[in-house]
Structure 1
Amino acid sequence: MQINRRTLLRAGVGGTIAGIIPTAAPALAGPRRRRPTIFVAGDSTAATYAVADHPRAGWGQALHVFLRHDVTVVNEALSGASSKSFFDLGRLDRILAAIRPGDVLLVSFGHNDEKVTDPARGTDPWTTFPEYLRRYLDGARRARATPILVTPVERRRFTADGTPYLSHGEYPDAMRALAASTRTPLIDLTALSFDLWGRLGPEGTKDHFLHLDAGASPNHPDGVVDNTHFQAHGAIELARVVVAAGRGLPGRDGRALRRTSIPDDVLTWPVTRPAES
């Protein structure tokens, strides 16, 4: 969980002119404005990873890089989760117990919903997938928080001639349709990441995904080729995409979004994965 806090205090003074306060209207401290929190419900592509996983990182782990310090990020994204299993495990209930008016809930599933042969996780794109997603939307709205749907980030998939191709079937379309029918804000991370991977190409995407040579990382001594998950650079750049597209997100930091190069060490890896501890 990335927490950055700054105290905001406003004094509400009636009838103040040029610093003079009439005796009939004493100075009163106004209500303290609550700092907004962004909650993330999602899967391994968004999760926060531990020291033992370094340099693997999820885009939820990097959201704070592009937000002002008065915004809190609570990343509940869980490795291996689908919209169904996250709900069945009580993880949505955990978020709804903490979420407050003015907060935001980012909801991003699809990778594991596609595992239709797994009864614990698989959903149908046009029936059970939107049915489960509605529970997230309805729960956030009951708490007077703002839900935002985030289509699943694209995997690294290229044809032999270097052309990227889509891998999520009908799940992104189902989420887009749900967003339209429920008037829910949508961040189309499928389309945005697919465009990014296409511009970077097969070689340029390797430093975004978890591609490491043998000996490059003590946590992966034999190397790794993972075309679904990200290393720090990729997580940071995807967080940039999410925040730039998320016009309803509180505290977007325009200066950070304009920075073309952000070092990997802006991220931290906790001792344990927070969503699993």
Structure 2
Amino acid sequence: MSLDRRTLLRAALGGTIASAYGMEPASAAGGHRRTVFVAGDSTAATYATADIPRAGWGQALPVFLRPEITVVNAALSGASSKSFADLGRLDLIRAAIRPGDVLLISFGHNDEKTEDPARYTEPWTTFQEYLRRYLDGARARHARPILVTPVERRRFRTDGTPYESHGEYPAAMRALAEATGTPLIDLTALSFALWSRLGPEATKDYFLWSEPQGLADNTHFQAHGAIEVARLVAAAGPQIPGRDRHALHDPAIPDDVLVWPPTRPAES
């Protein structure tokens, strides 16, 4: 990637992150800029300078979109489909989203927490019921919802073979997408295939692993992982506006294109 392209991309990312404060999409001369909203959890969230090198795939998504597209990353650390809606975060998106915009909806990690009634949902009942609220909210505003199954964790057996960790939640989301005619990005399957190809050691460069710091986080990403998961999302989402095909086919996007704001936007 050339220095000029990297500088331009960092400037665009800075503007995108700034637009997430208050969930107000940017305006362009002559009208509303097409906006991609992200509703999700910590795997997608935008992190602050104090969190470096931790990053979410929603934070990296603008890398793969043209500069005229705005990304409002409302993903909230610790959120489930239930808690995100119950906290009023979905209402904020519905107030800001406009006709022609896109809403990416990705939950599952925290819906699985049976010990936490504020977040737990059951895959085939309450999980689907809450997800329908996102679909209905976007469509009521003439925006397009896209369901995104939860990104797979880094899970390997002692013999090095990977295994899935999300139970029936991805299947429940796939079934809901089919039943409602909603576009689906199967990030569970895509990320599982990627981790399977990379294997136990190489995946450490994607997740929040750091031997000197004693970090061994198999759920959250460092910059490289966030960028590559965002690539999976953008590549599999033809309905996402303004995809940058040059970036999607660039295998050498550097980690330092990401921008970390002073505070976490979704928590400000």
- Helix, strand or coil at the partner of 1:84: helix
1:1-277 to 2 correspondences below 5 Å:
3=15, 32=30, 34-214=32-212, 222-277=213-268
2:41 alignment partner AA: D
1:12 aligns with none
Task: Output the TM-score relative to the length of structure 1.
Answer: 0.87
2:189 alignment partner AA: A
C-alpha offsets along residues 85-135 of structure 1, whole Å, 9 cap, x if unaligned? 000000000111100000000000000000012100000000000000000
Name the % identity.
74
Structure 1 CA distance for aligned equivalents of residues 158 and 206 of structure 2: 20
1:23 aligns with none
Cα shift at 1:35: 1.8
1:232 alignment partner AA: A
Are the counterparts in 2 of residues 6 and 69 from structure 1 also a CA contact under 8 Å? no
C-alpha offsets along residues 173-207 of structure 1, whole Å, 9 cap, x if unaligned? 00000000000000000000000000000011000
- Helix, strand or coil at the partner of 2:219: strand
Superposition RMSD in Å: 1.4
Task: Output the TM-score relative to the length of structure 2.
Answer: 0.90
- Helix, strand or coil at the partner of 1:106: strand
Are the counterparts in 2 of residues 212 and 225 from structure 1 also a CA contact under 8 Å? yes
Are the counterparts in 2 of residues 83 and 132 from structure 1 also a CA contact under 8 Å? yes
Are the counterparts in 2 of residues 3 and 73 from structure 1 also a CA contact under 8 Å? no
Structure 2 CA distance for aligned equivalents of residues 242 and 255 of structure 1: 15
Count residues in correspondence: 247
Bigger proportion of residues as helix: 2
Structure 2 CA distance for aligned equivalents of residues 159 and 63 of structure 1: 31
- Helix, strand or coil at the partner of 1:180: helix
C-alpha offsets along residues 57-91 of structure 1, whole Å, 9 cap, x if unaligned? 00000000000000000000000000000000000
Cα shift at 1:7: 5.7
2:243 alignment partner AA: R
Q: Which has the larger radius of gyration?
A: 1
Provide closer, same or farther for how the CA distance between residues 139 and 2 of structure 1 changes in structure 2, counting only shifts above 3 A.
Answer: farther
Structure 2 CA distance for aligned equivalents of residues 7 and 119 of structure 1: 42
Structure 2 CA distance for aligned equivalents of residues 128 and 244 of structure 1: 30
Structure 1 CA distance for aligned equivalents of residues 149 and 110 of structure 2: 13
1:95 alignment partner AA: I
Are the counterparts in 2 of residues 2 and 73 from structure 1 also a CA contact under 8 Å? no
2:107 alignment partner AA: F
Structure 2 CA distance for aligned equivalents of residues 140 and 133 of structure 1: 11
- Helix, strand or coil at the partner of 2:124: coil
Structure 2 CA distance for aligned equivalents of residues 51 and 131 of structure 1: 36
- Helix, strand or coil at the partner of 1:136: helix
